[in-house]
Amino acid sequence: MGSLIEIETGIAEDVWLALVDPTQFELALINLAINARDAMPSGGTFSVNVANRSIEAPDPLTAKPDYPENLAPGEYVMVSVKDTGTGMDVVTLAHACDPFFTTKESGKGSGLGLSMVHDMAIQSGGGLRVSSEPGRGTTVTIYLPRALSAPDKEVASQPAQAVHQGSGGQGSGGVVLLVDDDDLVRAGAAGVIESLGYRVLDAESAAKALGILHGCTKINAMVTDYAMPGMNGAALVEEVHRLLPELPVLMMTGYSERPEELARTACIQKPFQAAELAARLATLMPA
């Protein structure tokens, strides 16, 4: 977040377990942190608070509820992320969760967008609420359904085991070149890939990635972001295939609709689950 930003956390006592894919939630939280950081170029406070929330059926005669519309009555874990940054006006706020919408210049931000955080919350059975005022910051609140029981550790570990067994040993020796201009997102993706047993060479730009390819004798696959400054992922793939025509490539993109220039490129949609990334890598790097 940088030295100018103070981080505050508030976790309620006896907070419930939430029903959500941990990788998708982690990527969503990283995305919100990046948005908050970019909204506070001169510094500020970034707050994360977690609490239990019971939602009852709304009374049509009362004022508009302070939770997402169409959120079903029930018990939820409420994760609130707040910054003290520039904030958004009414018009910008109305479109903040629209696909492709951004207020940032090219190359800024994680490439995920609030629409992806919104989709994660909805797919988990919850919802998302965004409030903001110019000059007073933004608060994004994620509602995740309460999990009625803890996950079984043995069952939870089975997908990862299946991935390693089905990868023909590539997970213990394969080398993946990872390219993303955002440090936080690149670190998160590298952690997922390394957890699958692959060695990761990372680059923050297309130019550095090409330099690595020129100097490296063995790379099994490349995973790259699409929206990057200077040379985007599609242009990078074109250059890479001039050097290594057979190198498998997986493109990470936050766009809900695939850009036309990626029609022939394998893509994975942000935010993605660890199991999905593992399966795609196993396909790219068969035994």
Give per-residue pLDDT as tens, 223-234: 999 888 889 999
* pLDDT > 70? residue 263: yes
More confident residue, 285 or 186: 186
pLDDT at 51: 96
Which of 230-234, 261-265, 277-281 has the largest mean confidence?
Answer: 230-234
Distance CA 9, CA 14 (A): 15
More confident residue, 113 or 222: 222
Asked if residue 55 lies in contact with residue 73, where contact means CB atoms within 8 angstroms, the answer is yes
Upstream peptide bond of 248 is cis (omega within 30 degrees of 0)? no
Average pLDDT over the chain, rounded to an integer: 79
* pLDDT > 60? residue 196: yes
Residues 6+ apart with CB under 8 A from 113: 31, 99, 100, 101, 102, 254
Name the pairing type of β-strands 44-55 and 5-11.
Answer: parallel
Helix axes 183-195, 22-38, angle to 10 degrees: 160
More confident residue, 34 or 273: 34
Smallest CA-to-CA distance from 182 within 242, 108, 246 is with: 108
Asked if residue 44 lies in contact with residue 85, where contact means CB atoms within 8 angstroms, the answer is yes
More confident residue, 120 or 163: 120
How does pLDDT run across 73-120, given as a tens digit for each residue? Answer: 899 999 999 999 988 887 776 766 655 445 544 334 433 467 778 888
Distance CA 208, CA 259 (A): 24
Mean pLDDT within 174-178: 91
Mean pLDDT within 14-19: 92
Distance CA 260, CA 277 (A): 22
* Structural fold of domain 155-284: Rossmann fold (3.40.50)
| Residue extent(s) of CATH 3.40.50.2300 domains in the chain | 155-284
| Stated pTM of the model | 0.53
What's the CATH number of domain 5-145, 3.20.20.70, 3.30.565.10, 3.40.50.1820, 3.30.499.10?
A: 3.30.565.10
For residue 37, give both structure tokens: 């950081």
Chain centroid to Cα 140, Å, comes to 15
> Where does the chain show beta strands of DSSP type E?
5-11, 44-55, 74-83, 127-133, 137-145, 175-179, 199-203, 221-225, 249-253, 266-269
pLDDT at 71: 84
pLDDT at 78: 95
| Residue extent(s) of CATH 3.30.565.10 domains in the chain | 5-145
Distance CA 159, CA 186 (A): 23
Range name among 31-35, 189-193, 229-233 with the lowest pLDDT average: 189-193
Confidence of residue 158 (pLDDT cuts 50, 70, 90): very low
Confidence of residue 63 (pLDDT cuts 50, 70, 90): low
Confidence of residue 208 (pLDDT cuts 50, 70, 90): very high
